Amino acid sequence: MDKPHRQRFTAGIALWAMMVGQFGMPLSYAAQDAGGAKTQTKQEKEPDTESPIKHVLILIAENRSFDHTFGTYKPKNGQTISNLLSKGVVNADGTSGPNFALAAQFTVAPQSAYYISAASKTPYAILPPSDTLGAPTAQTDTAPPFKTLQEAAAEKDLAPDDLALLTTGASALSARVVDARVTNATSLPNGPFQLTGPTMPYDAYTGDTIHRFYQMWQQSNCALSNATRDNPTGCLSDLYPFVNISFSTSDNGVGNPMAFFNVNDGDVPLLKQLADEFASSDNFHQSVMGGTAVNHVMLGTGDAYFFSDGNGNAITPPANIVIANPNPKPSTNNTYIADGNWSNCADLAQPGIAPIVNYLDSLPYEANANCASNHFYLLNNVNPAFLPNGQLRTSGAFVPPSSVRTIGDALKEKNISWAYFGGAFNAAANLANGSTNPADAIGVAYCQICNPFQYAKSIMGDPAERSEHIKDTADLFSDIENDTLPAVSFAKPDGLLDGHPQSSKLGLFEAYLKNILAKLDNNPKLRAKTAIFVAFDETGGYYDSGFIQPVDFFGDGPRIPFLVVSQFSRGGKINHTYTDHVSILKFIERNWRLAPLTERSRDNLPNPVGQQDNPYVPSNMPAIGDLFDMFNFGNGQGN
């Protein structure tokens, strides 16, 4: 979620402060083999599948990199991992390790035009400090953290015992100041630093950091001249704070990108427990450089949305649409001329395009930019044309109704059930219908840019399709209880629970996840044939030390956490196969025997062929896995 959408979300959240919800008591999640039975209310025959998995449930959190979350994780059972700890960048206690300099960050002198690689750079003597940015300063009656549990009870998607998380974690500091809760905040060594400590609990709201398309390409500092055998694409990821500070004169998080949690100190407890017990990946990547909308779009389509006439025909955006121009303003060091949301990446004369395309052309494998002529592609957060109730938006910036084929379209054609479950969706639809009922005010927390299908004309433009496939978290809970869970389900918590820095906390996403797992525990028959994919949309601008495989103009980007919770993925295995969001599409397509979505969608890419001495870098780039090797089905499929 970038700054304009974050500000709108924060302003809107005050509307629902006095609501009260009703809850039932779920059981806590227990990792156990399936047993028992439950009466099945849905009598339809399940579609034939490649594996024993009959249901996949994709839960999508917000804005955390792999090293930010699992940088100090030590795997079980002799498994290996690539993270800050294994590389010696940090020690298990969060202090600087013997190879700390590997993650050093740099500044760059002024350049005449946009660049994604810096030939000359200067290391920071002291890392720019962590910043509160817009983190909540105190409890309020109108927005989280709330003063009372009664106010917090407006949130219907948590178990009652976890509502208190919506009342805690205020910073007690002003906005946009040094975050003094961070140990040694003004004298941090030049590299990653532990976010939590004696005065910064895990249960704290913290400042955000920038995560937009051209900024993230630049932060990655990619050039073939940097390449090594282990890093053949030459992305160094060493300009994170510099880009935060330089692309704009606003406060964009300063040193926040270098913060990490420490699982050895009790941070991220549920995700750590799941990693210990099930399968996780240390080579799963965001599909697109940048933020929330474009990565959710890639998850739903394996492609990017473009500006159109609403009938599938590409057109040039009107004059009021901001086309990106990341070239620096005169007499500035990297302050972008126009931090816009659209680019015609087939035209190398357009600002910002040539550095990326020329870099792709230099790679030792074919990385086609995949930019159609005269198409202006979406690069950052822009609302869909459709409102939650299916009506067309008439004001503000929005993406025209899209005809890009989605995984929903493919599933529908084969009569395979699917749904997108958005937190607070029902209330958001009621608000779009003009509701003034206070119980619907939580609808402002529904994330419209997170739903890739809300952009799609074939789904949102058809009332029957919209009603069947776009639903609320309450419907997810009901489907789990009643054994009517679709074959393919995408679930996105509302903005209070998605784990996004500043507007949420990672512990709140863990509480949402725990509630869903508990409900699955109550239906062991369903759980036995369900795989839960725990994914993140993107890094949120947090640093990651992993290898990046550029696939096309749009990405890939840095690593993000990814876990598979299933009775077929037990044992704490760390999977090293190169994967990204489109790997989820590839899993769905393989499991339900679907063809790739289109000729240009990324699900056409092959599965990686691993190198014996370096499993992280495919020998057949570009390539992304289909996730089957994260399972052990016992029949020659998976591992």
Reply yes or no on whether the pLDDT at 155 is more than 70.
yes
pLDDT score at 45: 72
pLDDT in tens, 458-500: 999 999 999 999 999 999 999 999 999 999 999 999 999 999 9
pLDDT category at 634 given cuts 50, 70, 90 is: confident
Burial 285-298 (b: 16+ CB within 10 A, else e): bbbbbbbbbbbbbb
Q: Is 636 within the bounds of a domain?
A: no
pLDDT category at 399 given cuts 50, 70, 90 is: very high
In this predicted model, which residue has the larger pLDDT, 6 or 562? 562
Distance CA 191, CA 171 (A): 24
Structural domain that includes position 339: 3-12+47-630
pLDDT score at 6: 45
Provide CB contacts within 8 A for 323, sequence distance 6+: 317, 338, 340, 342, 343, 344, 350, 376
- First CA to last CA distance, the chain: 36
Shortest CA distance to 240 belongs to which of 219, 217, 225, 210?
219
Q: Is 354 within the bounds of a domain?
A: yes
Q: Is 218 within the bounds of a domain?
A: yes
Percent of the chain's residues with pLDDT above 70: 92
Q: Which two tokens stand for residue 313?
A: 């025909």
pLDDT in tens, 249-268: 999 999 999 999 999 999 99
Residue where the block lists tokens 């190398």: 348
pLDDT score at 44: 57
343 DSSP β-pair partners: 377
Q: Is 26 within the bounds of a domain?
A: no
Q: What's the CATH number where 430 sits?
A: 3.40.720.10
Distance CA 13, CA 17 (A): 7
Distance CA 512, CA 295 (A): 21
pLDDT in tens, 413-445: 999 999 999 999 999 999 999 999 999 999 999
pLDDT score at 604: 98
pLDDT score at 142: 84
Torsion sign over Cα 492, 498, 500, 506 = negative
Q: How many CA atoms lie within 13 A of 497 on its CB side?
A: 31
Reply yes or no on whether the pLDDT at 87 is more than 80.
yes
pLDDT score at 617: 97
Reply yes or no on whether the pLDDT at 11 is more than 90.
no
Burial 593-621 (b: 16+ CB within 10 A, else e): ebebbeeebbbebebbebeeeebbbbeeb
Mean pLDDT of the chain: 92
pLDDT in tens, 450-464: 999 999 999 999 999
Distance CA 574, CA 613 (A): 16
pLDDT score at 380: 96
pLDDT score at 41: 40
Q: Is 610 within the bounds of a domain?
A: yes
Domains contained in the chain, number: 1
Q: Are 532 and 57 in contact (CB under 8 A)?
A: yes
In this predicted model, which residue has the larger pLDDT, 30 or 166? 166
Can you give the three-state secondary structure of 71-83, one letter per residue?
CCCCCCCCCCCCC
Distance CA 408, CA 598 (A): 13
Distance CA 297, CA 299 (A): 5
Q: Is 337 helix (H, G, I), strand (E, B) or coil?
A: strand
Q: Is 639 within the bounds of a domain?
A: no
Q: Beta 488-492 vs 418-422: how paired, if at all?
A: parallel
Residue where the block lists tokens 């993230």: 216
pLDDT score at 282: 98
pLDDT category at 39 given cuts 50, 70, 90 is: very low
Q: Is 496 within the bounds of a domain?
A: yes
Distance CA 617, CA 621 (A): 8
pTM for the structure as a whole: 0.93
Q: Is 525 within the bounds of a domain?
A: yes
Reply yes or no on whether the pLDDT at 16 is more than 90.
no
Provide CB contacts within 8 A for 399, sequence distance 6+: 305, 307, 378, 382, 383, 384, 385, 455
pLDDT score at 22: 25
Displacement of CA 575 from its chain's centroid (Å): 19
Reply yes or no on whether the pLDDT at 14 is more than 80.
no
Q: How many CA atoms lie within 13 A of 484 on its CB side?
A: 10
Q: Are 270 and 509 in contact (CB under 8 A)?
A: no
Of 33-37, 139-143, 406-410, 444-448, the range with the lowest mean pLDDT is 33-37
pLDDT in tens, 166-210: 999 999 999 999 999 999 999 999 999 999 999 999 999 999 999
pLDDT category at 638 given cuts 50, 70, 90 is: low
Distance CA 368, CA 589 (A): 23
pLDDT score at 610: 86
